Amino acid sequence: MKRTTARLADGREIIYFDRRDDAAHRLDDPRDLPPVSTTSQLRYDPVLAEWVAMAGHRQTRTFLPPKDLCPLCASTPERPTEIPSSEYDVVAFENRFPSLSTHATTTETGTELVPIRPGIGRCEVLVFSSDHNASFATLEPDQARLVVEAWADRTTELSAVPGVEQVFCFENRGQEIGVTLSHPHGQIYAYPYVTPRTARMLQSAREHRDRTGGNLFADVLAEERAAGVRVVGRTEHWTAFVPAAARWPVEVHLYPHRKLAEIGDLDDTERDEFVTLYLDVLRRLDALYDAPLPYIAAWHQAPVRADRDLAYLHLQVFSIKRARDKLKYLAGSESGMGAFITDVLPEDVAARLREVEVR
């Protein structure tokens, strides 16, 4: 893999990841861009004991532009984009409308009950392919493997940024999920705190270890592999399964068989096998309703410093689509109380995903 860094016109960093060592890119950005907003702030919710990011400047971000105005396509002489080069494989760059920024400042301090602090952190866009009409599911294995390399690279780099406590790689796909750009891409957030979901998962893992002496995630994986009824696919080093208490109508978790903290800990064989299994899972998801499935793919990695011994790298993929023409809305119980009610049995979803015909 060849890695090339440059700066965009407003100072944001851009990183090219290429399969070919002889790949060359335009490194200057001819656009005249306004400065990136650094007004993000974090406000503490004392009732839920959680930090909430305030980023009002994101209201003006690009929203579903037509293909000929896509900011993630390669640049042409007539139309420069966020990616100055005329061709590329995989690209990461700092978000133009970030929720968190390494340069964030605020003059507000809040109160003792509700403190306010700058929204320090970093938000990046990771573009999977220069092909506007592609999706992760349609990538060739070597292209998908390059994305894995980029995830690993960015996790390592962002973990070293002062103040960052957790790195989250994810993909939102489909307008139903809230995607504002249709070009195949994901995002990477570097948070200045451990996120609520991760903190809760690690607390559960701590309690499980205290009670049994085992690792919670390893024990869940072992139980799913032994039962088999919810397993969607497996390789020598990975298993994909629908969790027994799935919250979402379609939900698949991919676990490596070896306990690891982050993506960069995967060896070459594990990375190759992940690509094989993940592409198969995504193609099964798209075949489920014979249409591209809206989903969120979320990498669960260890925090930068806290409880790394408890964590277990895995990927969660889930969709709000509960039938060909129906979405699961988070209504009263889910949104109001955080109490999920699932409409489809996980065993049935797993069986359908195993049996579906993949093209």
Residue 132 among known ligand-binding residues: yes
Residue 103 among known ligand-binding residues: no
Of 172, 185, 186, the residue nearest 293 (C-alpha): 172
Q: If 0-12 CB within 10 Å is exposed, 13-18 middle and 19+ buried, where does residue 161 land?
A: middle
* Interacting residues of 46 by C-beta distance below 8 A, sequence separation 6+: 113, 114
Of 304, 57, 87, the residue nearest 189 (C-alpha): 304
Catalytic residue among 185, 237, 253, 314: 185
Is 208 part of the annotated catalytic residue set?
no
Pairing relation of β-strands 90-94 and 122-127?
antiparallel
User: From residue 192, how far is each of 63, 164, 168, 310, 339 by CA, in Å?
Assistant: 27, 4, 11, 20, 28
Of 37, 24, 31, the residue nearest 7 (C-alpha): 31
Q: How many residues would you count in the chain?
A: 359
Separation CA 282–CA 359 (nearest Å):
12
Order of strands, sheet of 314-319, starting from the edge strand that comes earlier in the sequence: 2-7, 13-18, 90-94, 122-127, 185-191, 166-173, 295-300, 314-319, 250-256, 238-241, 231-234
Helical (H) or strand (E) element with 185? strand 185-191
Known binding residues are: 70, 73, 132, 183
Annotated binding site for Zn(2+): 70, 73, 132, 183
Q: What residues are labeled active site?
A: 185
